[in-house]
Chains A and B, each alone.
Chain A
């Protein structure tokens, strides 16, 4: 174990490929746009470009040669730097999330990349940009076991051998989308509309070059003369966009797999490029079930896990979403399957009638400002002088309707160690957390609430940034109960 390991040799090829990809525009500019240019600038720019590429490739090679790592009983040791040597120790116990990303490049060579995140700064994570699949499996399992402190006898020699890991056999698969889910998902995400902007931008691009509009005028007016031609065109276009939308949805959400074992939840996604994440169950701070208006119509929901680990950068931000288009019943079952210590109640207490009154009477500053703006700018549609008034009334109706919906959707429950809130008008959110995961609570009430015997309760959960959840206009008795419920936490929280 003391011996130093280099990263997989394909790392060099991978990095070179990445450099080539990043310099695509430079090549395009230097060799295609200015193909037959004799200018001195292009001549020297090409030389500089090749020197730059040369240096980058040499650096990649030296980096591969000097960067080493060891894995011991408790931690990773990383050695890097060409001139300035750095040694970094990352204990397994600090690793919060494990991400795996398999791009087309990885697939070509039957390898993958794995990223162990510690949830602090970006540079204190361990990243293998190219690693054999079996080695990645074994490494992940080894760290999962060592990180939890349970003894295991896997030696590092085994990591490099091709022995099959039993990681997959221990996992239980909880969810994989079927065709029906994809069809529903493509409707909910309105992805069939994706063709319109694409076609629009292609048309305007071509138009700039070829001046299509003038050329096509003859044909177009000929086509549009026949009404059946328009119908056919619209139908063809509709079907095409529907198909493309579904294909797009399939590529994005088609191959999903949610599985778990004793300690972790695993999410695997992507058709062309696969990405895999895992989250420690004990780090889950709260669960949220969100339903947009469209999703509620189709009976779908999105389940989000709030975790104390940070999810760094770009696409990985979506890590905490289990699957955005889960059937509602399945979503609730999934929570209890994945997190057996969690209980989801289906029946929540509703708000008293007076909460509806206070919701409706609260002034909507948005409406006031919008009406002011409408009155001032005085837009006129369809020759109607009263456009501003109609729009303002429509907006008010929408706001009032949203508030009434919010009143009916809002619910709360404190049961055992769990707290559950549901709120929202057009988009509803159900929030579920455990007493020991809540780091602070607050109760407030303004004059009107005090008069009506209502209060606002707030919970704070650990996340990045800290996650506040507020429920307005609950009966004051509940706020008292909520307070004493939270005080009980002392009895169950274990101290180190």
Chain B
């Protein structure tokens, strides 16, 4: 993957390291619920002696969920964090995420209509915030920024976004 040098310029700011833990935890909870559900179904299958093919399908699902949770709990959060970048100046907000599907976004400050900070229980545990940016028709989220930076970034965007272009 040497295309990074040829593609759009990379923003410089990175997310806080602890977001990896948050992502791991939330993925673990999700997969845990999934596994639990499958386990209950398997027990019911055993208890009520459902047709054999249902058991096989459940086992296949169980294996898939297991493999997927290895990916979503252990591998994905690390690479997601490694590839997430953002940056802002008085003219643009720039976002970059993903490695398998690399995504770049360039949003003029003048087109941003609202910006807010959000915090769920997992983010609160690590003192992190996510910033949500709304434009006329799209919304973007920067996950995992420490409280001080988050408020700073939010206020900065609010100030830069105040600029109005002529001919609105």
Contacts and interface: CB of A to CB of B under 8 A. Distances in A.
A247 interface: no
Nearest to A482: B8
Contacts of B98: 444
Contacts of B105: 440-442
Interface string B52-87: 000000000000000000000000000000000000
Contact of A443 (B92, B104, B111, B138): B104
B110 A493 contact: yes
B92 A487 contact: yes
Interface in B126-168: 135-138, 163-168
A465 B135 CA distance: 12
Contacts of A479: 7-8
Interface residues of A, number: 32
A477 B98 CA distance: 19
Contacts of A465: 137
A336 interface: no
A460 B165 contact: no
A335 B15 CA distance: 46
A492 to B, nearest CB: 10
Interface in A440-459: 440-447, 450, 453, 455
Contacts of A184: none
B167 to A, nearest CB: 6
Contacts of A489: 108
B137 A436 contact: no
A460 B164 contact: no
B104 A282 contact: no
Interface string B1-15: 101001111000000
A476 B7 contact: yes
Interface residues of B, number: 30
B104 A442 contact: yes
A449 to B, nearest CB: 8
A17 interface: no
Main secondary structure of the interface of B (DSSP, over half): loop
A443 B166 contact: no
Contact of B100 (A446, A455, A486): A446
Contact of B106 (A455, A477, A483): A483
Given A436-B165, A466-B137, A444 B104 contact: yes
B52 to A, nearest CB: 24
A439 B1 contact: no
A480 B106 CA distance: 12
A496 B168 CA distance: 10
A466 B7 contact: no
A471 to B, nearest CB: 14
Nearest to A442: B105
A465 B136 CA distance: 9
A374 to B, nearest CB: 26
B166 A447 contact: no
A482 B166 CA distance: 24
Contacts of B107: 440
A445 B102 contact: yes
B49 interface: no
A485 to B, nearest CB: 10
B106 A440 contact: yes
Contact of A483 (B1, B100, B104): B104
Interface in A355-404: none
B3 A487 contact: no
Interface in B92-130: 92, 98, 100-108, 110-111
B44 interface: no
Contacts of B7: 443, 445, 455, 476, 479-480
A477 B135 CA distance: 28
Contacts of A480: 6-9
Interface of A: 282, 436, 439-447, 450, 453, 455, 460, 462, 465-466, 476-477, 479-480, 483-484, 486-487, 489-490, 493-496
15 contacts: A439-B108, A440-B108, A440-B135, A442-B104, A443-B104, A446-B100, A446-B102, A453-B6, A455-B7, A460-B137, A476-B3, A477-B6, A487-B91, A495-B163, A495-B165
Given A489-B108, A494-B167, A495-B165, 19 more contacts: A439-B108, A439-B111, A440-B108, A440-B135, A443-B104, A445-B102, A453-B3, A453-B6, A455-B7, A460-B135, A462-B137, A479-B8, A480-B6, A483-B8, A483-B104, A484-B9, A486-B106, A490-B108, A493-B165
Per CB-CB distance, the 4 closest pairs between chain A and chain B, nearest first, are A466-B137, A483-B8, A494-B166, A443-B104
Interface of B: 1, 3, 6-9, 91-92, 98, 100-108, 110-111, 135-138, 163-168
